[in-house]
Amino acid sequence: MARERGLTVDVEGFNRLMEEQKSRARAAQKKSVIELSQIETSVPTVFVGYDKFETPAKVIEVVRVKDRTAVILDTSACYAEMGGQVGDTGNLSTAPACGGSPIRRSPVTRGCICWKAEARKSKSEVRRVGARRGSAEVDVPEPGAEVVLRVDAARRQAIQRHHTVTHLLHWALHEVVSRDASQKGSYVGPEKLTFDFNHAPLTPSQLADVERLVNERILENAGVSWTEVKYSHVRDRKDIMQFFGDKYGEWVRVVQVGGRPTGLDGYSMELCGGTHARATGEIGLFRIVSETAIASGVRRIEAIAGLEAWRRAGRNWRC
Ligand SMILES: [Zn+2]
């Protein structure tokens, strides 16, 4: 095409920049992961974080790898990174041996990380909390210790706002653009969301309509509810968003917005394992930041909600 138009292509420059981009991508992916084989525990950790930001827990196992320590608990309120939603951070404190007295104030770990790994053979699931710091002040609990795990609630709430509004955005895209605009992936973090879908570029008026529709639904303050149902009951429901072709277990979780709580009659319903706001009003202001191409035929919407949207809106408006 360039030749037709009398242009030359800097192939060498392109290749150099492509290599640079590849090494950037590789560096970004470098994570220190604790192999599941290093963990003996096969009992799955019970996740109570849909309803609670704090939970007592018992240390089942402690695994040290390089500069990290993974503390495996029997119960966790920290959401482990899954389905596009980032993992929670939180604090682990040792609890006194007998119940009733106050929790020791010194945090055992700061900036704990939670993540999940599937043990393919045993089909069990382990939720782990890793302490990032290896400094002397970090007092790692022993197996058998009673601890209290507290989720960083403000961060979690910011993540939840972005997750619930991702569902509203998905719904609004179907209303404004097309029901064929299917989700290709998403990222849900405390600072923003991204939503990938296959479609032609959206027009400015479509983007404006999507943004307005989502904000209208937020102000309506409809309830958000979730329920677990057998997958066979919802597999053929076209009104419940799901990734067709994805392997779901026997039980799935439906997150719905609007309708009777858990009545499977909301205007937005999706199979989703993530954590959510209780009502759309919690989301606050919603703004679309950009809509761009990320691959052939795949668009990405980047958007912000809640305090992030307020922060951005607040810039330079006072005269
Ligand atoms: Zn979701």
Annotated domain spans of the chain: 36-151, 156-313
Question: Cα(164) to centroid of ligand 1, in Å?
Answer: 7
Report how far ligand 1's centroid is from the alpha carbon of 150 (Å).
23
What is the Cα gyration radius of the chain?
Answer: 23
Q: Measured in angstroms, how far is the CA atom of residue 36 from the centroid of ligand 1?
A: 26
How far, in Å, is the centroid of ligand 1 from the Cα of 274?
Answer: 5
* Centre of ligand 1 from the C-alpha of residue 54, in Å: 22
Q: 275 CA distance to ligand 1 centroid (A)?
A: 8
- Assessment of whether the complete model's pTM goes beyond 0.85: no
Strand partners, 183: 197
Number of H helices, E strands in the chain: 5, 15
Instruction: Provide the sign of the torsion angle of the four alpha carbons 201, 207, 210, 211, taken in this order.
Output: positive
**Cβ–Cβ contacts within 10 Å for residue 14, how many?**
10
Expressed in angstroms and rounded, the spacing between residue 254 Cα and the centre of ligand 1 is 9
| pLDDT, one tens digit for every residue, the chain (319 residues) | 888 888 888 999 999 999 988 887 777 665 555 555 667 777 788 889 998 999 999 988 888 766 667 788 889 898 888 888 988 888 888 755 444 333 333 333 333 444 333 333 333 334 444 444 444 345 678 899 898 888 999 999 999 999 999 999 999 999 999 988 888 999 999 999 999 999 999 999 999 999 999 999 999 999 999 999 999 999 999 999 987 666 788 999 999 999 999 999 999 999 999 999 999 999 999 999 999 999 888 999 999 999 999 998 876 666 6
Task: Give the Å distance between the CA of 284 and the centre of ligand 1.
Answer: 18
Give CA separation, 61 vs 49, 96, 100, in Å: 20, 19, 25
CB 57 within 8 A of CB 93: no
Q: Ligand 1 center to residue 75 CA distance, Å?
A: 23
What is the Å distance from ligand 1's center to 303 Cα?
A: 15
CA of 137 to the centre of ligand 1 (A): 38
Topology of the domain comprising 36-151: Elongation Factor Tu (Ef-tu); domain 3 (2.40.30)
The structural architecture, per CATH, of the domain 156-313 is: 2-Layer Sandwich (3.30)
Spacing, Cα 225 to ligand 1 middle (Å): 12
CA gap 143, 73 in Å, rounded? 9
- What amino acid is encoded at 235 in this protein? R
Distance 104 CA to ligand 1 centre (A): 36
| Ligand 1 center from residue 156 Cα (angstroms) | 14
